[in-house]
Amino acid sequence: MRTIFWDYDVNLLKMIDQRRLPGALELATCRTHVEVAQAIREMTVRGAPAIGAAAAFGMALAGFESASSSTRGLLADLEAAAHTLKASRPTAVNLAWAVDRVMRKAHSLEGNVDDLRAAILAEAQRIADEDVETNKRMAAYGAALLDDGDTVIHHCNTGALAVVDWGTALGVIRSAHEQGKRIHVLVDETRPRLQGARLTAWELQQYGISYEIITDNMAGYFLSRGEVQKVLFGADRIAANGDVANKIGTYMLALAAHDNGVPVYSVAPTSTIDLSTPDGQHIPIEERDPDEVLGLQFHGEPVAPQGAKARNPAFDVTPARLITAIVTENGIAYPPFLDTLRGVVHPKKVTY
Ligand code: MRU
Q: What DSSP character marks residue 226?
A: T
> Taking the chain, what is the end-to-end CA distance rounded to the nearest angstrom?
36
Candidate of 45, 246, 265 to mutate for ligand 1, largest count of ligand atoms within 8 Å of Cβ? 246
Are 171 and 299 members of one domain? yes
In the listed set 94, 117, 134, which residue is the last one of a domain according to the structure? Answer: 134
| Domain housing 51 | 4-134
Residue 348 scores a pLDDT above 80: no
Q: How many domains does the chain have?
A: 2
Q: Is there a domain that residue 351 lies in?
A: no
Mean pLDDT of the 70-94 span: 96
Establish how many alpha carbons lie within 13 A of residue 342's alpha carbon, considering only the half-sphere containing its beta carbon. 11
Residue 221: count other Cβ atoms within 10 Å of its Cβ.
12
Tens digits of residue pLDDT in 88-119: 999 989 999 999 999 999 999 888 999 999 99
Q: Is there a domain that residue 297 lies in?
A: yes
Whose CA is closest to atom 13 on ligand 1?
234
Tens digits of residue pLDDT in 211-269: 999 999 999 999 999 999 999 999 999 999 999 999 999 999 999 999 999 999 999 99
Residue 352 scores a pLDDT above 90: no
Mean pLDDT of the 281-309 span: 95
Report d(CA 147, CA 230) in Å as an integer.
10
Are 27 and 113 members of one domain? yes
Residue 25 scores a pLDDT above 60: yes
Residue 350 scores a pLDDT above 80: no
Are 228 and 341 members of one domain? yes
CATH of the domain at 56: 1.20.120.420
Confidence class of residue 349 from pLDDT cuts 50, 70 and 90? low
pLDDT at 110: 85
Write the secondary structure of 160-201 as one string of H (helix), E (strand) and C (coil). Answer: HHHCCCCECHHHHHHHHHHCCCCCEEEEECCCCCCHHHHHHH
- Tell me if 269 sits within 8 A of 295, measured CB to CB: no
What sign does the CA torsion over 194, 324, 222, 146 have? positive
Give the number of the atom of ligand 1 that is nearest the alpha carbon of residue 167: 15
Whose CA is closest to atom 14 on ligand 1?
234
Calculate how far, in angstroms, residue 159's C-alpha sits from the geometric centre of ligand 1: 10
pLDDT at 222: 98
Q: Is there a domain that residue 10 lies in?
A: yes
pLDDT at 111: 85
Give the number of the atom of ligand 1 that is nearest the alpha carbon of residue 156: 10
Are 45 and 76 members of one domain? yes
Are 124 and 76 members of one domain? yes
Whose CA is closest to atom 6 on ligand 1?
47
pTM for the full model?
Answer: 0.95
* Percent share of the chain, pLDDT over 90: 96
Tens digits of residue pLDDT in 301-320: 999 999 999 999 999 999 99
Q: Is there a domain that residue 350 lies in?
A: no
Are 96 and 145 members of one domain? no
Residue 148 scores a pLDDT above 80: yes
pLDDT at 1: 83
Residue 293 scores a pLDDT above 90: yes
Report d(CA 64, CA 32) in Å as an integer.
9
Residue 351 scores a pLDDT above 50: no
Calculate how far, in angstroms, residue 246's C-alpha sits from the geometric centre of ligand 1: 7
Close Cβ partners of 148 (under 8 Å, ≥ 6 residues apart): 180, 181, 182
**H or E element, residue 28:** strand 27-30
Which region, left, alpha or beta, applies to residue 222 given φ > 0 means left and ψ of -120 to 50 means alpha? alpha
Provide the H-helix boundaries in the chain: 33-41, 48-65, 71-86, 93-108, 113-143, 169-178, 195, 201-207, 219-224, 250-259, 291-294, 337-345
Least Cα distance to 50 among 268, 254, 203, 277 occurs for 268
Q: Is there a domain that residue 8 lies in?
A: yes
Tens digits of residue pLDDT in 35-51: 999 999 999 999 999 99
Mean pLDDT of the 82-92 span: 95
Q: Is there a domain that residue 26 lies in?
A: yes
Least Cα distance to 246 among 326, 334, 343, 130 occurs for 326
Mean pLDDT over the full length of the chain? 96
Ligand 1 residue neighbourhood (C-beta within 6 Å): 46-49, 92, 156-158, 162-163, 168, 195, 233-236, 246-247, 314
Active site residues: 236
Whose CA is closest to atom 5 on ligand 1?
47
Whose CA is closest to atom 8 on ligand 1?
247
Q: Is 217 helix (H, G, I), strand (E, B) or coil?
A: helix
Calculate how far, in angstroms, residue 202's C-alpha sits from the geometric centre of ligand 1: 16
Are 171 and 71 members of one domain? no
Q: What DSSP character marks residue 111?
A: S
pLDDT at 109: 87
